[in-house]
Structure 1
């Protein structure tokens, strides 16, 4: 008799434990008075009914954030003077073109650069970039670097700090929209730098880049003179200043076709600068 009672009690305990386990898995434990967990009533005959699982919010929402988090650009130091040269291995030079883009001259310059597989820098004005966004898109596709040359090409030393910020920031906004990313370099119109320009440029994440060789092509001295100035000033680390807008730049286009293959034949590597940090 005792053996039968023990078996009956054991079966009851096992059945109760199974019911508790099933209820716990389904997440239906409730809290009764006194914050003591109350067990659900034992099922009446047959196997315990399965409770339908509620859809998990985790499974319904797509996962985001794959890969490494996006790096936050490091703000460059506030300089007291612009960079004039670039570092690089061997006979490295940089070609830069200011004031554009201009649909009359910039496409010809891009064609010549593409022919010789050379990358260059274009310091664009915001109002020109805004009107010719397709040219900035082409610069991005062909691997050129686009820098900030202010919105309207003013003399920064005569502007308020607020106006300088607007000139720079508005141009960076347009460059980001048309080129695909914000500029990392800026150049003051006329080479007129001041403390505010250096400070604001650094705040906007840009390094100031000037030039080593000025072709003075904006004075239209003739294509031959422009060629001579580039070839006479060629040296490792040199930054050459040319223009692709702001007036008649047909001489600049012609000169590029002449001096570019000569520089390459002389062993120069024409490329774009790299920042030490981003």
Structure 2
């Protein structure tokens, strides 16, 4: 898929034979009998192809309708199938490795044209945002701090039920560089326990508040089930994206940070506006939004 109503329709109107679009059936000629539909196995095969084409057409129409409903500039690109094996993490500027510690990743090493959207904290519980993400089938990874999320974990349980993964962002969002061993355990492992209680699963991804951490914080996270630390390369707002790199472009494997926020100074719009901004930017630059947990 590329742009609304153009290459998307060409791709999805395939009949399964070499990627060629199905030809429309010829109308009957006046005075001549209609061509009979083959019976038996041949008829089942024809009907099967027609059924697949009809389902694909309906799916395309539903996706186009959703894109128009949410005001997207183009139909979002579909992410590729999840890799059979997660990419190997090699030390470099976007991946920090140390013996015995979870890897710290700013950008996932992949050649797929895919980026990842992650949402932090949990302050605003915007139903329109959740509805939009579900309606457009946008993969999300959320990183919750309990002190903000606890007022309505039902909101995040509903997101979980729609396929959103829920991850650890500490209990109270402190600067981990300032905490001793006991406080680190309360903040990191305490949130692991809290999310297991509220969401039903124990996360393996962790994001330190402010992107700041120490070796002691990473050891603590590893001790209670964390296997990777996700940082970011861009931050998304309703009216713009902020880039880590000077070319101000997305790259394969980029992790985009945003937050659960209501409109306010510095946040000029809604969560739905932010999601629209991210989708339109990714689509225009040739990227799909993928599921971070499939790669990391």
What's the TM-score once normalised by structure 1's chain length?
0.61
Which of these residues, 101, 116, 123, is aligned with residue 79 of structure 1?
Answer: 101
2:239 pairs with 1:251? no
**Matching residue of 2:112:** 90
CA positional deviation for 1:181: 0.3
> Given the superposition, is the C-alpha separation of residues 228 and 168 from structure 1 closer, same or farther in structure 2, using an over 3 Å criterion?
closer
**Structure 1 unmatched ranges of 5 or more:** 1-75, 218-222
* Corresponding pairs, count: 194
Please identify the structure whose Cα radius of gyration is greater: 1
Once the two structures are superposed, residues 189-229 of structure 1 have per-residue CA deviations (whole angstroms, 9 ceiling, x without a partner) of: 111110111101111111211111134x4xxxxx3333899
TM-score normalised to the size of structure 2?
0.58
User: Partner residue of 2:240?
Assistant: 225
Alignment of 1:147-226 (within 5 A): 147-206=167-226, 207-215=228-236, 217=237, 223-226=238-241
> d(CA) in 1 for partners of 2:139 and 2:105?
19
- Large movers: runs of 4+ above 4 Å: 227-231
User: Is the contact between residue 92 and residue 237 of structure 1 (CA under 8 Å) also seen in structure 2?
Assistant: yes
Q: Does the Cα contact within 8 Å between 1:101 and 1:135 map onto a contact in 2? A: no
The answer as to whether partners of 2:116 and 2:254 remain within 8 angstroms in 1 is yes
- How far apart are the structure 2 equivalents of 1:133 and 1:184? 19
| 1:273 matched residue in structure 2 | 292
The DSSP-based 3-state class of the residue aligned with 1:154 is coil
CA RMSD of aligned residues (A): 3.0
Deviation (angstroms), 1:149: 0.5
Gaps of 5+ in 2: 1-97
CA distance 1:166–1:247, shift in 2 (3 Å): farther
Q: CA deviation at 1:146?
A: 1.1
